[in-house]
Structures are given as structure tokens and as C-alpha cells.
Structure 1
């Protein structure tokens, strides 16, 4: 009897191979041949899963976003509202090797958007989803007294979005702001919203 291939798992395995090649050798090294070798597949087998490099890169970027979103959703049942917000928000900061690698992969793929326009659209959709999620979090903070009533939830979500993006970038490439410092900046800002 022929072996049944789990397509979703195969796609994820190949996307993770893209990430490894990209992180080790840079975006220019990401080719169907090199990714297939990294994944332990033949190029022909890889092409049965992803018909083109553009499709492969698009899926790889979507998987970065999906994994971060899944981790964020895993915190929604935390009872303490402040702890819940910080846990959810921390999933987009490069606080450990997994999140750091995903952030680096995402940045490299965003930089490829001029050559692969679908990547730009995926990135914009992810940013919109993040902003919407932050608006929901700020609204929830207001409901629990963690954000002053006079503050506009959309405006505060925009500010928080910019702070998250900037502090994540500083933690990734700067030599002055560690991941712990990035988390402290974001946490201090969250705590300041009640005033």
C-alpha cells in the first residue's frame, strides 16, 4: 500500500527548510534545488508541493505569521488581564530563538516583495491583522481599567504597533536594546496607558 503523505505537514517541513536556508545562507540562496536538498527531497518532489519559488516563499511567509498568531491565541485564557496582554504581545517580539528566527525570516521575505509582489500583500495583511488584534487588546484593557477611558483604542493600538515593531527591530539588530529591554519598553508603555 502506498504511503499517504500529509500535505499540510509536508508544506510546513518544506517551509522550515526555506527558513533554515535563508537564515544560514541568505535569501539569495533560497532556490528550489537548495530547499529540496535541505528538506531531504528531490526538486521534482518539492515541485509537486510548490509549483514555483514564488509559491514556496509565499507559503513560508504565511507560516511565520500563522505560528505567531497561534502562539498569541494560546494566551487568551490567561485570567489576569495585564498578564494576558503582555503574553500575547510578547509573541511578536524576538524574545527567544524561535521568535528571533521568525522575525528574521519575515524581514528577509518582506525585502523580497519587489521581486515577488504577493509577499508584500501577505505582509500588509499580517500588519492589518496585528493592528486589529492590538485594537481588541486595548479595548479589553479599557474594560479592565488598564487603559484610561479618554484614550482612543485605535490610536493607542497604532502607537503600540509602532512601539512593537520598533522595539523588535532594535532587539534584533541593535547593540543597545536587548530582547529583555524591548519587552520592558513595551510593558512600561502598557502600564502607562492607565494614567
Structure 2
């Protein structure tokens, strides 16, 4: 009986190989040949799943978004405390090796997408996901009665998104410690929170 192939798992394995090429050699070195060698597969096998550099880069970014979303959604539904909101938002920050790698890939791909219209989706997807995650945390906190009444959730989402992006960049570059980032995030939330932390 022929072996069934889990195409999603195969795509994720190949996307991880793209990550390794990007972080070791740079986006410019991503090719069918280099990724196939990194993944330990034939070029023909790789082309069957990801036939072009653009599709390889898109798969790499899709995996960043999928892994971050999976961690974010693993939190219990609802926001009961400010600390709970911070824990959810921390999934968007490079606080461990896995999240640092994801952020490095994200930034490398975002830089590569500039000037390449075919990669617009690659650049937009993680930004959209972070914005939606920020919006979700605020909506959950608001629904739980934790936020000051009358806040403009659209404007607050933008503020929180900008803060999270800035914290992520400064954490990745070593300009902030984890403790400093947590304090800044808590201060931002505290100014909007009306219930106990």
C-alpha cells in the first residue's frame, strides 16, 4: 500500500529548512538547490511542494505566523487579569530561542519583500497577525470589564501593536531585557486597566 504523505507536515519541514538557510546564509541564498540540500531531499521532491523561491519564502513566513498563532491560542479563553493579558502578548515577543528565530526570519523576509510586489503577502501576513492578536487581547479585556470605558479600541490596537513591535525589535537587538520589556508592557496596559492587576 502506498505511504500517505502529510503535505502540511512536509511543507512545515521544508519551511524550517528555509529558516535555517535564511538565518545562516541570508535570504539571498534561498534557492531550490540550497533548501533541498538543507532539508536532505532532492530538488525534484522540493519542487513538488514548493516550486519557486517566492513560494519557499511564503511558506517560511506562513510557518512563523502559524507557530505564533498556535502559541497565542493555547492560552485559556478570555482575559481575567492584566498579567494574563501580558502573558498572551508575550507570545509575540522574542523571549526564547524559538521566538528569536521566528523574529529573525520575519525581519529578513520583510526586508526582502521591499521592492518585490509578489512578496507583499509575505510582508503583510505577520503584521496583520500581530495587529489581530493585539486587538483580540483588548477586546477580551474590554468584554471582561477590565478596561476604562469609552476607549477607542481601534486606536488602542494601533498603540499596542506599535509598542509590541518596538519591544520585539529592542529585545532582539539586546537593547531591552525581558524584565524591562515586561515592565513597559505592564505600564502601557495599566494606564488602560480599571480592575485589579
- Same topology, TM > 0.5: yes
Is the partner of 2:113 in helix, strand or coil?
coil
- Specify the alignment match of 1:31 in structure 2: 31
- Specify the alignment match of 1:188 in structure 2: 187
Give the C-alpha shift of residue 33 in structure 1.
0.8
Aligned partners of 2:116, 2:45: CA distance in 1, in Å?
23
> What number of residue pairs does the alignment pair up?
194
In the TM superposition, what are the counterparts of 1:24-103 in structure 2 within 5 Å?
24-77=24-77, 80-103=80-103
Gaps of 5+ in 1: none
Q: For each residue in 1:95-132, what CA deviation from the matched residue of structure 2 results, as whole angstroms up to 9, or x when unmatched?
A: 00011100110110111113543432233243234323
Aligned partners of 1:27, 1:180: CA distance in 2, in Å?
32
Give the C-alpha shift of residue 191 in structure 1.
1.8
Sort the Cα spacing of 1:180 and 1:30 in 2 relative to 1 into closer, same or farther, 3 A.
farther
- Specify the alignment match of 1:128 in structure 2: 128
Sort the Cα spacing of 1:167 and 1:81 in 2 relative to 1 into closer, same or farther, 3 A.
same
Sort the Cα spacing of 1:149 and 1:78 in 2 relative to 1 into closer, same or farther, 3 A.
closer
- Specify the alignment match of 2:109 in structure 1: 109
Give the C-alpha shift of residue 135 in structure 1.
2.3
Q: For each residue in 1:76-97, what CA deviation from the matched residue of structure 2 results, as whole angstroms up to 9, or x when unmatched?
A: 3366343432222111100000
Is the partner of 2:193 in helix, strand or coil?
coil
> Under a length normalisation based on structure 2, what TM-score does the superposition of the two structures give?
0.89
- Does the CA contact (< 8 Å) of 1:71 and 1:91 recur in 2? yes
Q: For each residue in 1:135-174, what CA deviation from the matched residue of structure 2 results, as whole angstroms up to 9, or x when unmatched?
A: 232132233343211321111111000000001001111x
- Does the CA contact (< 8 Å) of 1:11 and 1:49 recur in 2? yes
Sort the Cα spacing of 1:132 and 1:6 in 2 relative to 1 into closer, same or farther, 3 A.
closer
Aligned alpha-carbon RMSD (Å): 1.9
- Specify the alignment match of 1:4 in structure 2: 4
- RCO higher in 1 or 2 (8 Å CA, sep ≥ 6)? 2
Aligned partners of 1:176, 1:12: CA distance in 2, in Å?
32
- Specify the alignment match of 2:140 in structure 1: 140
- Does the CA contact (< 8 Å) of 1:58 and 1:119 recur in 2? yes
